[in-house]
Chains A and B, each alone.
Chain A
Amino acid sequence: MANSMKKIKLRMKSVQNTMQITKAMELVASGKLRRARERVEHSRPYFETLYETLFSIASEDDEFASPYLERRERRKRLYIVIAGDRGLAGGYNANLLRAVEADISGSEYCILPIGRKAVEYFMRHGDDIVSTDFVQAGDLSVSDCFEVSRFACQGFLRGDFDEIRIAFTRFVSMLAQTPVLLPVLPFDAPDKGPGKTRKSLMLYEPDRRTVFDAIIPEYLAGVVYGSLCESTAAEHAARRMAMESATDNASELMEHLNLYYNRARQAAITREITEIVAGADVEA
């Protein structure tokens, strides 16, 4: 009996240690989440204004042509996949990668992974990876996003790939994060009604095409940065949730173990008493 008591005690100790770790990770994740959400909110106005402007340039005129608007026979897609650097975040990485796999189905593609988990996953699958320069999603700065964007735009103009999609996780709420596949290039110009040409009075300097072509890489970088911010927030939220339920499970387990321990202790005491009484009987 003393043996089983000791075993339970050890088990309790280990559960308690794990609980401490998960608790700490939960606290760290909530702290980081707060910062990540602030970053999302800060970057949003920039990104929205940029999109509005591009949208209005592209929708204004029919004759307007830019290589970034050109819809080629779709042959090859580039997926920019933004996943996390670390596991232990519930289904965060798995959900995203599954969504990418589902979208890929059959078409020709190549991958630009961001984040260690994404790099490892696509390496293991032997997919066509265009660059592994962006392994750490955690410390990617704005200028790294520009690097990604420049790379993607050059490849697009060269014809290395004909369509670019970004896969990231949208931070819907503390409880829900959904993987999203966002087509970014060719830029989706809104459909114009037939025969309707609105003449715009906007002055573009030096001309519309130059402005548009200069802004598209920046737009792409903005999208990458925005998605990265969203993904980071989603990752921390997912990790917080996972760690919270782990802590809950651990404390539940502790309760059970405590009960077992007490029962074992009680049994040991009872047995000892029985033994003493039996011994006394013999003596008497």
Chain B
Amino acid sequence: MENFRLRIVTPDGLIFEGEVTSLSCRTIEGQVQLLARHIDYCTALGMGEARITLPDGSTRRAACMGGMVSMMGGECRLMAITFEWAEQIDHARAEASKKRAEEILARKNLTEREYKLAQARLRRALVRTGIR
């Protein structure tokens, strides 16, 4: 398989830079997979699992939320708000967060804002707990 350059940046810094054979991530439209020689491409990211395949065939999984991905001149750039490798995810914290969000959502008298915040938290927690 052919390789291409991938650069992953978040506000907290450069997460990854190097050659990969494929990148798969969740966009606002659904899961996509990018391979080498892709046409110039740009889309916004949703919340979900990202997976990269390294030239030696191994894959790394990560929780990737928000931001955008672009392919320009054969070079791919993924700008995410949060990007956590599977091994970095704090599962205990994610579980706790999920539980807390569910408790909040179970209550009746929520303002719209509280409801949205809790829902967003639940979604983030679900993405994190889903990656193992």
Contact = CB atoms under 8 A, between A and B. Distances in A.
A225 B68 contact: no
Interface string B1-31: 0000001011111100000000000011100
Report the contact-size class of chain B (Cβ under 8 Å from the partner): 20 to 34
A203 B44 contact: no
B68 A46 contact: no
Nearest to B40: A202
A45 B78 CA distance: 11
A46 B10 contact: yes
Contact of A45 (B14, B42, B68): B14
Give the most central of B7, B42, B72: most A CB within 10 Å.
B42
Interface in B71-92: 72, 77, 79, 81-82
A45 to B, nearest CB: 5
Give the most central of B43, B66, B82: most A CB within 10 Å.
B43
Interface stretch (A23-31, A120-128, A210-218): A210-218
Report the contact-size class of chain A (Cβ under 8 Å from the partner): 20 to 34
A60 B49 CA distance: 31
Contacts of B40: 200-203
Contact of A205 (B29, B81, B82): B29
Contacts of B77: 49, 53
A50 interface: yes
Contacts of A215: 44, 68
B42 A142 contact: no
A214 B44 contact: yes
Contact of B68 (A42, A53, A200, A221): A53
A226 B82 CA distance: 16
B39 interface: yes
B70 interface: yes
A203 B39 CA distance: 7
Contacts of A222: 11
Contacts of B42: 53, 57, 202-205, 211
B80 to A, nearest CB: 9
Nearest to A202: B40
A53 B7 CA distance: 14
A106 interface: no
B12 A142 contact: yes
12 contacts: A43-B11, A46-B11, A145-B11, A146-B81, A201-B39, A203-B40, A204-B41, A210-B28, A218-B67, A218-B81, A225-B11, A226-B11
Interface of A: 42-43, 45-47, 49-50, 53, 57, 142, 145-146, 200-206, 210-211, 214-215, 218, 221-222, 225-226
5 tightest A-B CB contacts, nearest first: A42-B13, A214-B44, A205-B43, A46-B9, A202-B40
